[in-house]
A and B are shown apart, each in its own frame.
Chain A
Amino acid sequence: EAQVTQNPRYLITVTGKKLTVTCSQNMNHEYMSWYRQDPGLGLRQIYYSMNVEATDKGDVPEGYKVSRKEKRNFPLILESPSPNQTSLYFCASSLLVNTEAFFGQGTRLTVV
């Protein structure tokens, strides 16, 4: 089954404690990206990746890091989370940027 898998689905953490949200896709897609969704703001792109070892900033990259060492995986790293990073996060993949994106189930992160 074609899918994008994010883990964990829910996470509560404390300020400053490094965390990683994993994202994996099984469709051999080249384009992957991370979004955060906040009430009234829609989805905002954090980082995207055109292919392995090719990542770039989206609209709201501050406080986040990503890596793309393998085509299927695109983890999101918060080195020192802060409460303003409390949000719903989505990973997505698509063959190209202008093709249908498949989204993960979302990760609800709370930073206290």
Chain B
Amino acid sequence: AQKITQTQPGMFVQEKEAVTLDCTYDTSDPSYGLFWYKQPSSGEMIFLIYQGSYDQQNATEGRYSLNFQKARKSANLVISASQLGDSAMYFCAMTLGHGNNRLAFGKGNQVVVIP
């Protein structure tokens, strides 16, 4: 069963605008972690942001913020002031399994920033 769902089709975003990438997840564990990673066309995987399920505040890292809505099981990534270098595939991921030792990724969202 799919644990992490990213269903948006590819997105075009105007430079300097904000973009929100949707991620919903499914778990019955009260304790889990949520991540976002970026994969540019060069192929490397880059960590962006982390949110723990017990964290009271939404995580922020520079231009990245995670809109965590626990009751809705939603962990959307917001990128503010998009830059051309933000063009990439973005993956949501979460810890799961016994002891939360496994990591599951969504299928990704493609973002293209246009000048």
In this complex, the interface size class of chain B, counting residues with CB under 8 Å from chain A, is 20 to 34
Interface of A toward B, CB cutoff 8 Å: 33, 35, 40-45, 48, 50, 56, 58-59, 88, 90, 92, 97-103, 105-106
Q: Are B43 and A45 in contact (CB under 8 A)?
A: no
Q: Are B102 and A59 in contact (CB under 8 A)?
A: yes
Q: Are B33 and A98 in contact (CB under 8 A)?
A: yes
Q: Are A42 and B33 in contact (CB under 8 A)?
A: no
With A40-B107, A43-B93, A105-B44 already in contact, 17 other A-B pairs whose C-beta atoms are closer than 8 Å: A35-B105, A42-B105, A42-B108, A45-B102, A45-B104, A50-B101, A58-B103, A92-B45, A97-B33, A97-B95, A97-B102, A98-B52, A98-B95, A100-B50, A101-B103, A103-B45, A105-B43
A88–B4 CA distance with the chains assembled, in angstroms? 20
